Structure 1
């Protein structure tokens, strides 16, 4: 398990951070994204939540970094839609 702390919504910098985190050749079997608990706006005076911007950045950066592992976004207050 490795913890990588995202440093903002810069797609290129995030992709490089992800590449650096697996530079030793470690296999990525999954990505767990916990930012869904942060309900702050992305920028002061904007209504767009930071979680939306950073989730989109992470998805794009994972692709840019060539990481095809499953991405799990942890949420709270989720509602079941029935049996899966």
Structure 2
């Protein structure tokens, strides 16, 4: 389960999913605004939180370069189902 201190950005450009995660030292559900920037270009994928915490990965060598949505785009908190 992802904690309230983690922001994730995942995408699949045709050669498997890639996920970037950034961890905040304090919980993000603190009734304050937080700035999240996610970018994927031909060189790299970047996820940045509050202009401080950042993860960068080289872009996959192959795959689509444009964002072409064939299904829904989700922005928000990840939902988890628990089974016991």
Common fold by TM > 0.5: no
Higher helix share: 1
Higher strand share: 2
* TM-score using structure 1 length: 0.26
